[in-house]
Amino acid sequence: EDQVTQSPEALRLQEGESSSLNCSYTVSGLRGLFWYRQDPGKGPEFLFTLYSAGEEKEKERLKATLTKKESFLHITAPKPEDSATYLCAVQVSGNTPLVFGKGTRLSVIA
Amino acid sequence: DAGVIQSPRHEVTEMGQEVTLRCKPISGHNSLFWYRQTMMRGLELLIYFNNNVPIDDSGMPEDRFSAKMPNASFSTLKIQPSEPRDSAVYFCASSLLGFEQYFGPGTRLTVT
């Protein structure tokens, strides 16, 4: 069974304090790994797709990396507006559903 | 583009009543997914469609749940009869050719 585990469940950072979120996965075959951001009361918002080990993608203060067993979402010098739940998901083949982890709830304190 | 549109945004109903949730995917997208989100279980797939055809409904909890996609621009998820354990946020998402999925704002369902 395809599984995605995210850690930590919750993370509290001071503004400017860099850190990383982890997403480990066990799948029969990986087509893509996705990162989403979810704000309270809203739907998940797409951030990145990673397709192969060694791939990296960046957007503002966020950088996502991928290995054969896990992905990291690095947050550099976070700001309070980065506070959200970050969800990781895997896709085994095209046009198929995503399997989501339970997310990491990030709080950035000014 | 307006993004994925869902209605209603909030629904409060009594146990035993029928509930219908609606979704309009992004124009041109050919896959549509219904997910349910709870604190305990996170995001779980209920059913998905490719080119308006249901592909996998193994996530639908039981026969009380049904979904349709009569055309490329509209889908419904129906619960009849509803039960308190159905209370959750229901999301619709769409994608093009199997790439990233875009989510709607969700419908928060409360069954009393």
Give residue A2's pLDDT: 84
Give residue A49's pLDDT: 95
Give residue A28's pLDDT: 84
CA-to-CA dists, residue B79 to A67, B41, B68, B99, angstroms: 41, 19, 12, 29
* Percentage with pLDDT > 70 across chain A: 100
CB contact under 8 A, B31 and A44: no
Number of Cβ atoms within 10 Å of the Cβ of A107? 13
How far from the centroid of its chain's Cα atoms is residue A10's Cα?
A: 13
Give residue A27's pLDDT: 87
Residues B64-86 have a mean pLDDT of: 97
Q: Which residue has the higher pLDDT, B1 or B84?
A: B84
Contact A1, A90 (CB under 8 A): no
Residue among B6, B54, B5 nearest B31 (CA) = B54
Whether the pLDDT of residue A109 is over 80: the answer is yes
Nearest to B33 among A42, A49, A97 (CB): A97
Residue A41 makes CB contacts below 8 A (sequence gap 6+) with none
CB contact under 8 A, A44 and B33: no
The alpha carbon torsion through A85, A45, A5, B61 (nearest 10 deg) reads: 100
- Band of the pLDDT at B1, cuts 50, 70, 90? low
Give residue A97's pLDDT: 85
Closest chain B residue by Cα to residue A33: B100
Distance from CA of B15 to the nearest CA of A (A): 24
CB contact under 8 A, A43 and B105: yes
